[in-house]
Amino acid sequence: MDRQTASATFPSAAAAVADARRFVRKVLADWGMEEAVDDAVLATSELATNAIAYAGTSFEVTCRLEDGEIKVEVRDRHPTRGIEMPGVTASSGRGLPSIARLASSWGVSYDRRTKGVWFTLPRPGAANGSGPARPFGGENLGRGPGDDNGTSAREAAAVRDTHPALEQGGASGGPSAPARDPRLSGDAVGEGPAAGDRLLRSPAAVEALEDGVATVREVLAAEGAAVLLTERDGRLIMGASAGTAAEIPLGELSVPALGPDARAGSPWVAADSSDPTAVALRARSLAAAPLESGGRLTGLLVAVSSVSGRFAEADGARLGRLADEMSLSLEKARVGELERSWRGWLSFVAEASDLLAGTLDQERTMALVAQLVVPRLATWCAVYNTDGSEPAKLAYVWHADETRADGLRELLDHAGATPPVDVSSPWSGLATAPEEVRAAAGATADDQVYAFPLVARGRRIGTIVIGRPSGDRFPRSAIELAEELSRRAALAVDNARLFSAQTAMSSALQRSLLPPAIPEIPGLEVAVVYEPAGEGSEVGGDFYDVFESGPRPGGPAAHWRFAIGDVCGTGPEAAAVTGLARHALRILAAEDLSVPAVLARLNRLILGEGERGRLLTLLHGEITARRRRDGVTIRLTSAGHPPPLVLDPAGGVREVATPQPLLGVFDGVEFHTDTVELRRGEVLLCVTDGVTERRSGTRLLGDGRGLERLLAGCTGLSAGAVAARIQRAVRDFGPEPSNDDVALIVLRAS
Same domain, 656 and 533: yes
Question: Is there a domain that residue 165 lies in?
Answer: no
| Total count of domains within the chain | 4
Same domain, 678 and 577: yes
Quote the CA–CA distance of 226 and 216 in Å, as a whole number: 9
Quote the CA–CA distance of 168 and 166 in Å, as a whole number: 6
Same domain, 575 and 648: yes
pLDDT at 29: 87
Question: Is there a domain that residue 284 lies in?
Answer: yes
Question: Is there a domain that residue 160 lies in?
Answer: no
Residue 98 burial (CB count, 10 A): 22
Same domain, 644 and 541: yes
Question: Is there a domain that residue 676 lies in?
Answer: yes
Task: Report the side by side order of strands in the sheet with 3-10.
Answer: 3-10, 59-66, 69-76, 115-122, 105-110
pLDDT at 126: 60
Question: Is there a domain that residue 243 lies in?
Answer: yes
Where does a domain end: 269, 304, 336? 336
pLDDT at 746: 96
Pair 38, 70: CB distance under 8 Å: no
Same domain, 455 and 546: no
- Within the chain, how many helices (H) and strands (E) appear? 17, 28
Pair 351, 358: CB distance under 8 Å: no
Quote the CA–CA distance of 494 and 459 in Å, as a whole number: 9
**Is it the case that residue 127 has pLDDT exceeding 80?**
no
Same domain, 460 and 526: no
Residue-range definition of the domain harbouring residue 306: 196-336
Question: Is there a domain that residue 470 lies in?
Answer: yes
pLDDT digits 0-9 by tens, 384-409: 888 766 777 888 888 888 888 888 88
Same domain, 711 and 737: yes
Which of the four pLDDT bands, split at 50, 70 and 90, describes residue 687? very high
Please report, for the domain that includes residue 322, its CATH number. 3.30.450.40
C-alpha closest to that of 206 among 196, 218, 216: 196
From residue 221, alpha-carbon distances to 226, 227, 595 in Å are 14, 16, 112
Angle, helices 313-357 vs 362-373, to 10°: value is 170
Question: Is there a domain that residue 457 lies in?
Answer: yes
For the ranges 371-375, 703-707, 712-716, which has the lowest average pLDDT?
371-375
C-alpha closest to that of 132 among 157, 100, 159, 155: 100
Quote the CA–CA distance of 227 and 222 in Å, as a whole number: 14
pLDDT digits 0-9 by tens, 706-729: 999 999 999 999 999 999 999 999
Same domain, 45 and 73: yes
Where does a domain end: 503, 536, 561? 503
Same domain, 740 and 633: yes
**Is it the case that residue 610 has pLDDT exceeding 90?**
no
460, amino acid identity: R
Q: Mean of the pLDDT values across residues 164-179?
A: 31
**pTM listed for this prediction:** 0.50
Mean pLDDT of all residues in the chain? Answer: 79
Please report, for the domain that includes residue 49, its CATH number. 3.30.565.10
Q: Mean of the pLDDT values across residues 489-513?
A: 78
Same domain, 491 and 577: no
Same domain, 210 and 323: yes
Q: Is the dihedral of CA 732, 734, 736, 740 positive or negative?
A: negative
C-alpha closest to that of 132 among 99, 164, 108: 99
Please report, for the domain that includes residue 657, its CATH number. 3.60.40.10
Question: Is there a domain that residue 53 lies in?
Answer: yes
- Give me the DSSP letters along 129-156: -SSSPPTTSSSSTT--TT--S---TTGG
Quote the CA–CA distance of 527 and 747 in Å, as a whole number: 7
pLDDT digits 0-9 by tens, 543-561: 899 998 866 555 545 789 9
Q: Mean of the pLDDT values across residues 516-527?
A: 89
Which runs of E-coded beta strand occur in 354-403?
380-385, 393-399
Q: Which residues pair with 426 in a beta bridge?
A: 450
Same domain, 387 and 426: yes
**Is it the case that residue 164 has pLDDT exceeding 60?**
no
HSE, side-chain direction, 13 A CA sphere, residue 196: 23
